[in-house]
């Protein structure tokens, strides 16, 4: 019981980042390590793919346990599954909008959406673009002959010794933030636009 109380109290001093995939966790773990940060943790601690509902439940269960909760989510799968939903059934985008509405009243919850995926954020380190890509496969060719040439969604690629992905991208971080800001905020009813809202995470984590 004492351990549970201590965890909750300590958690109030840090942020919880909820992600939906392995690449987000690897990137954020590297960001934490390279900057010697202790003010956030990434959930899930193990690289486990989870449903929208499972991610939402994690947020609900931890609303009072952390300084803030940051939900980082890629939209490519949501859009794909929405297009494939049989007529008359609830779509994934409708489900997500319901979760957004329920979480809106909580000031300590931040929802950051990438369209189509985290790799769009990486692309903004390389070039200033507003091009819309329907999925990662459309975007990956943009990495050829750049610092991310040979990019793979693998832990081996992300954590190469002295060439990890965060170290490669860090010199261009401010450029990427500027490019992402220029794209504006998400309109949940008009999702066919390239966005990388993950840039907001850095200012949230660095607030005093």
Check: CB of residue 158 under 8 Å from CB of residue 164.
yes
100: Cβ contacts below 8 Å, ≥ 6 apart: 111, 188
Give 36-68 pLDDT, tens digit per residue. Answer: 999 999 998 777 778 999 999 999 999 999 999
Any idea what DSSP says for residue 189?
T
pTM of the model: 0.91
Q: What is the pLDDT of residue 1?
A: 37
Confidence of residue 112 (pLDDT cuts 50, 70, 90): very high
Is 50 exceeded by the pLDDT of residue 154? yes
Range list of β-strands (E), 101-156: 109-115
Question: Which residue is it, tokens 């794209």?
Answer: 183
**What percent of the chain stands above pLDDT 90?**
79
State the residue for tokens 């609900």. Answer: 60
Q: How far apart are CA 52 and CA 92, in angstroms?
A: 8
């Amino acid at each position: 019981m004492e351990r549970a109380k201590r965890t909750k109290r300590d958690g109030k001093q840090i942020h919880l980042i909820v992600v939906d995939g392995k690449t987000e966790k690897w990137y954020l773990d590297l960001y934490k390590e390279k900057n010697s940060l202790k003010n956030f943790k990434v959930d899930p601690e193990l690289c486990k793919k989870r449903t929208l509902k499972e991610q939402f439940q994690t947020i609900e269960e931890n609303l009072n346990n952390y300084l803030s909760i940051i939900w980082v989510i890629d939209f490519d799968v949501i859009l794909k599954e929405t297009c494939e939903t049989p007529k008359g059934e609830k779509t994934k985008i409708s489900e997500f909008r319901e979760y957004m509405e329920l979480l809106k009243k909580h000031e300590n919850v931040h929802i950051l959406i990438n369209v189509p995926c985290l790799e769009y954020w990486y692309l903004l380190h390389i070039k200033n673009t507003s091009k819309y890509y329907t999925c990662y496969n459309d975007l990956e060719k943009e990495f050829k002959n750049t610092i991310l040439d040979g990019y793979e969604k693998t832990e081996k690629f992300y954590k190469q010794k002295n060439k990890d992905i965060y170290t490669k991208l860090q010199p261009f971080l401010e450029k990427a933030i500027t490019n992402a800001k220029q794209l504006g905020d998400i309109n949940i009813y008009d999702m066919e636009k390239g966005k990388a809202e993950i840039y907001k995470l850095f200012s949230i984590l660095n607030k005093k």
